[in-house]
Amino acid sequence: MGWSLTAWSRFLRLAALLSLLPPERVAAQVLGSPLDCRNTCVCASNIVSCSRKNLSAIPTALPQYTAVLDLSYNAIARIRAEWTSVRLSRLHTLLLSHNGLTFLSSESFVCVTKLRYLDLSSNGLRILDELIFEPLEHLEVLLLYNNQISQIDRTAFSGLYSLQRLYLSQNQISRFPLELVKERSRLETLQLLDVSANKIKWLPLAELQTLPAWIRNGLYFHRNPLPCSCQLYDVVARWRLKGMSSVTDYSSDHTCVLPGAQKERMAVLDLNKIYMNCTEVSLVDEESYLDQFLVLDCDTKQRNMRKSWLLPGNIPVPPAHKTAEMLPGGHLQIGPLRAEHTGVYTCYAVSETYNETLYVNVMVYNTTMSGGMENLKTAYTTLVACLVSVVMVLVYLYLTPCACCPGQDLEKSEAEDSAHSSKASIAAAHSDMGEGEAKDFAYRHMGFPQIKDQLEQNGRLKPIGEEDEEWQEESKERRGSAGSVSSVCSDTPMVL
């Protein structure tokens, strides 16, 4: 399709304007003009500053001794592989913020491998390709905040073995880069990761809780659309109690989204009061039992600090202490534990620029772990025995067979039947035997009725000497027709 008259008119007009410019001016718009330290840039020793000069390309012919190159606040939209024709082996700071950058070549940093500080903030970057920063093995600070980044390859930051601070806030990131801080895959020197003000809707909270304090202290994730939950509250509240800068510095900015169509936001630290009634977080001290070994961790906010411990009573740990030993990494092992090990242990952490003091309150229970289990088993056994006893008593009281004599009124109470069961059996024996046999039988069993009769009359014991007389009278009555079974069963019940 041919051009319209309007398009041809615009092209001719542009060609006419370009013809009025000098040839070197046109080349500068594409390849960049040679460095001009008099009119365009300021060159001071090993510093080259071309800030706010409306440049659309990086100047060429930069001196090899350049250590700081400031190209901020220009109009440089693309960084090509050939932006410098010489290797800048001394360049350690490159400033490219506020340029409208939308493209980075995969070979953009091949000639500046000694960079330690790279500022790409406030541009229009959308994608970070794989291994884009791999040549920068000495880079310590990388600023990428306030871009349009929505895609980050998992290998984008591979090779950054010296990186300490990474700023990714105010972008369109929806996935938390856990591989940067997770054990085995993390950047070993990374101390600060800022992913605040993005579009992250999920955080690996369980993994974040296990991170060392020196990583958590510099992990900023506020101002993300995280859903409200008690687990999120637990993380934020614990980090605040521990004094983590990532929470204490931005306490009011840690918000979450309530469920519902309104998508209302509320402060995470208020979830225990207003909406979800989450359990309030409190720091738990170390608890243990006798004869155990306990390892105390001096979990500092800075890495590679010199650590020392004081025992309860501010007693230093001697080299040959019997129950306390310093372990590699600054840990303190105590044990086998005794009750006197209860108390506050103090850890002093010192570096060239930072001091920190941590306190660990240890509680040693005055029992062994096995002893505690045995006590629990004994209590359980006692409870079961009590329940069995109660059941046996109920069975005895309510399930005992009726022993009432034949021909008697079955409306007699169970108490009466039980009280006179022995009397009924003796009377029946008298009726079946002869008089001589009955007399002999009575004397063979005289121990039983003697004790029984002593307990009658509401428990009063009869005077000594009256037992034989009464027993003889009672035997005569039983041999008579009036001393039948019916008279025995209708006798007054025993009162115990």
pLDDT digits (tens, 9 = 90+) for 113-170: 999 999 999 999 999 999 999 999 999 999 999 999 999 998 999 999 999 999 999 9
| Per-residue pLDDT at 290 | 84
What pLDDT does 100 receive?
Answer: 94
Question: Does the structure show a pLDDT above 60 at 425?
Answer: no
User: What percent helix, strand, coil does the chain show, rounded to 5?
Assistant: 30, 20, 50
Read off the DSSP letter of residue 48.
Answer: E
Residues 443-463 have a mean pLDDT of: 44
Taking residue 393's Cβ as centre, other Cβ atoms within 10 Å add up to 10
Distance (Å, rounded) from C-alpha 158 to C-alpha 169? 20
Tens of pLDDT, residue by residue over 382-397, are 777 778 888 888 777 7
Which residue has better confidence, 98 or 376? Answer: 98
Structure token pair of residue 165: 């601070």
Residue pLDDT, tens place only, 205-216: 999 988 988 999
Q: Is the pLDDT of residue 173 over 70?
A: yes
Residue 32: per-residue pLDDT: 73
pLDDT of 167: 98
| 317 Cα distance to chain centroid | 31
Residue 232, pLDDT > 60, answer yes
Nearest to 302 by CA among 250, 356, 248, 251: 356
In this prediction, residue 218 carries a pLDDT of: 95
pLDDT confidence of residue 142: 98
Q: What is the pLDDT of residue 85?
A: 82
* Per-residue pLDDT, 285: 67
pLDDT of residue 6: 57
pLDDT band for 65, please (50, 70, 90 cuts). Answer: very high
In the predicted structure, residue 423 carries a pLDDT above the cut 60 = no
Bridge partners, 142 (sequence order): 118, 166
> Which residues lie below 8 Å from residue 290, measured CB to CB, with a gap of 6+?
336, 337, 338, 339, 364, 365, 366, 367, 368, 371
Give me 320's structure tokens: 């040959």
Strands 294-296 and 332-334 turn out to be antiparallel
- Cα–Cα distance between 203 and 227 in angstroms, integer? 10
Res 429 pLDDT > 50 = no
How many angstroms separate the CA atoms of 305 and 280, rounded?
32
pLDDT of 92 above 50: yes
Kindly state the average pLDDT of the residues 191-195. Answer: 96
pLDDT at 68 over 90: yes
The residue that leads in pLDDT, 332 or 413, is 332
What phi, psi does 455 have (nearest 5°)? -90, -5
Question: Residue 3: CB partners within 8 Å, gap ≥ 6?
Answer: 11
Residue 440 has pLDDT above 60, yes or no: no
Q: Rounded distance, CA 199 to CA 450, Å?
A: 97
Q: Is pLDDT larger for residue 84 or for residue 99? A: 99
More confident residue, 322 or 450: 322
* Whole-model pTM over 0.75: no
Percent of the chain with pLDDT over 90: 39
Mean of the per-residue pLDDT values of the chain: 77
> How far apart are the C-alpha atoms of 196 and 256, rounded to whole Å?
13
Q: Are 394 and 452 in contact (CB under 8 A)?
A: no
Report the sign of the C-alpha dihedral through residues 259, 263, 264, 269, in that order: positive
The CA R_g of the chain, rounded to the nearest whole Å, is 47
Per-residue pLDDT at 472: 52
Q: How far apart are CA 199 and CA 150, in angstroms?
A: 9
CB 372 within 8 A of CB 346: no
Q: What is the pLDDT of residues 234-272, one digit of tens each?
A: 999 989 988 899 999 999 999 999 988 888 999 999 888
